[in-house]
Amino acid sequence: MLTEIDKLQRQSGIIGSSTGIRRILEMILQVASIDISVFVSGESGSGKEVVAKAIQKASKRSHKPMVVVNCGAIPEGIIESELFGHKKGSFTGAMDNRKGYFEEANLGTIFLDEIGETPLEIQVKLLRVLESGEYMRVGEAQTRYTDVRIIAATNKNLEDLVRKGIFREDLYYRLKTVSIDIPALRDRKEDINLLVERFALEFTRSNDLVYRGFVPDAIRKLKQYSWPGNVRELKNFIEKILVLEKGQRIDSKMIEKQLVGNFINEKENIALPVLVNKNTDKAEIDLILRQLFLLKQDTEIIQKLIIGDSKTAVLGNSFPIMGSVSPKIDIPEKSMEITEDGQRLIRDDAIGDMRISNLEEEAIRRTLRFFNHNRRKTAKSLGMSERTLYRKIEEFGIEPKIKRSV
């Protein structure tokens, strides 16, 4: 027997079985029947409009109009007229009286996408509509009333915009009566299988194309990509590959070929050896460590060009250049932490106090850990030869020396 959540999922077209999607469906069930404003946040392409339409379909206003407005696509000079309407002759080109979106949506629902793009003077008028339902057409002194449910969405951090004075604080709190945050696709990769099947079936049926499916390796390859454009990017990619590989069963080589230039295998990417599901602070710290490591390598190359293999030298009369062998500095225990897999790493909040030699060791430790101690991939990621990496590992005592059998 279908549960209420299952029925809602079928009705709304929200695809996925991940914890994040189930939580969103539960929230929609809780708020849909109650006439309050809802704020939907999420990255571009994550499905904010789909969630908004699901709320409207499950609400008491489901048989009334739903007007979708992309606030970021309306030029600043005409956005007031578009939202609230205008009186004939109120400005050049106003040949007739015109209803605005709020008037069109009366008794129904209005979805204000990219609400963070609205100018401050319009935000005042939006706040008034939210609180009392009152508004005025451009060029008209008459107060009008509308009865609409407002669902707003953005891919920006409104709290940051409030702090910067770009978005009104009172409107922000008024909109966020109930908030629904949509996770990025990279944070719910278990849903990719279902999304691929749905998009592929819909596209091939509507275009009368043969569909032979995706092999498991192809799905695994899709899950290795971070999908910065989220569900929208995945949908567009599935449609593209089904056209270009018409009638074929899609394998991993086809995926790689079609994603050339933007495919990111996180464990092979030499530019950023950071897992995409790390939080932002962790990712930035690992990236900084890598850049410091590369900076040290560059310094050593310059040193060799200028002074050969000497351990120290002076440029001019003031700047000492350190050699490639740095003295081993003991790191205080308070600056260390033990990871779940038993490795000792510098605490993230202590990295700023470390010497460059310690940071070099830390960069190697973290990159080795990232690649599950695969030395070939670690060396490639750090831009050094495997021989140099082996020497560094032995120098820092990172791993026990491997005794080769004779």
Per-position DSSP letters for 142-176, written without gaps between them: --EE---EEEEEESS-HHHHHHTTSS-HHHHHHHT
**Model pLDDT, residue 396:** 79
> In a structure prediction context, what are the per-residue pLDDT tens digits for the chain, which is 406 residues long?
778 888 999 888 899 999 999 999 999 999 999 999 999 999 999 999 999 999 999 999 999 999 999 999 998 889 999 999 998 888 878 888 999 999 999 999 999 999 999 999 999 999 999 999 999 999 988 999 999 999 999 999 999 999 999 999 999 999 988 999 999 999 999 999 999 999 999 999 999 888 889 999 999 999 999 999 999 999 999 999 999 998 899 999 999 988 865 554 444 443 434 344 444 444 445 555 555 555 555 555 555 555 554 444 333 333 333 333 344 445 455 444 555 555 555 454 444 445 555 667 777 887 787 777 788 877 776 777 778 888 888 887 886 544 444 3
Q: Is 400 exposed, middle or buried (0-12, 13-18, 19+ CB in 10 A)?
A: exposed
C-alpha to C-alpha distance for 188 and 24, rounded to whole angstroms: 13
Tally of CA atoms within 13 A in the half-sphere of 100 that contains its CB:
26
C-alpha to C-alpha distance for 241 and 199, rounded to whole angstroms: 12
**Model pLDDT, residue 391:** 82
We find that the CATH architecture of domain 4-183 is 3-Layer(aba) Sandwich (3.40)
pTM of the predicted model, to two decimals?
0.64
- Give the amino acid at 319: F
Q: Which residues contact 319 (CB under 8 A, 6 or more apart)?
A: none
Q: Which residues contact 10 (CB under 8 A, 6 or more apart)?
A: 2
Q: Which position has the token pair 């604080």?
A: 169
Query: Can you read off the two tokens belonging to residue 302?
Result: 């310059």
Q: What is the 3-state secondary structure (H, E, C) of 317-333?
A: CCEEEECCCCCCCCCCH
Domain boundaries, the chain: 4-183, 186-258, 280-396
Sign of the dihedral defined by the CA atoms of residues 381, 385, 386, 388, in that order: negative
Q: Helical H runs in 32-84? A: 48-57, 79-84
Three-state SS at 40: strand
Domain spanning 186-258, CATH class: mainly alpha
**Model pLDDT, residue 327:** 42
